[in-house]
Amino acid sequence: MDRAEVDSRIRELIEPFNKKGVAVTDDTSFQHDLEFDSLTVMDFVAAIEDEFDIIISMNQQAEIEKYGQLVDAVTKMVDK
């Protein structure tokens, strides 16, 4: 699965969590731009894990601050 396909699927998943309708780019911050709290992050990560049949560790979650980093990380995990 290429990055563009992963990006497209994650964009569909993020819609219900994007309460303010922020235009999501690779530089969009989950904490600052989207204002995700810890519960929202857990729900969003669970949705991604279910969609792609992957596990995102707590350490990986801590390193991912922006949307583009998430797409890159998921793309790498799906390619393994």
Q: Of 48, 68, 69, 51, which Cα lies nearest the Cα of 60?
A: 69
- Beta carbons of 80 and 1 less than 8 angstroms apart: no
Domain holding 69, by residue range, is: 3-79
User: How many domains does one find in the chain?
Assistant: 1
Rounded to an integer, the average pLDDT of 3-19 is 97
CATH number at residue 65: 1.10.1200.10
Separation of alpha carbons 53 and 14, rounded Å = 17
Rounded to an integer, the average pLDDT of 49-66 is 96
DSSP single-letter state for residue 29: B
Q: Is the pLDDT reported for residue 39 higher than 80?
A: yes
pLDDT on residue 7: 98
pLDDT on residue 79: 83
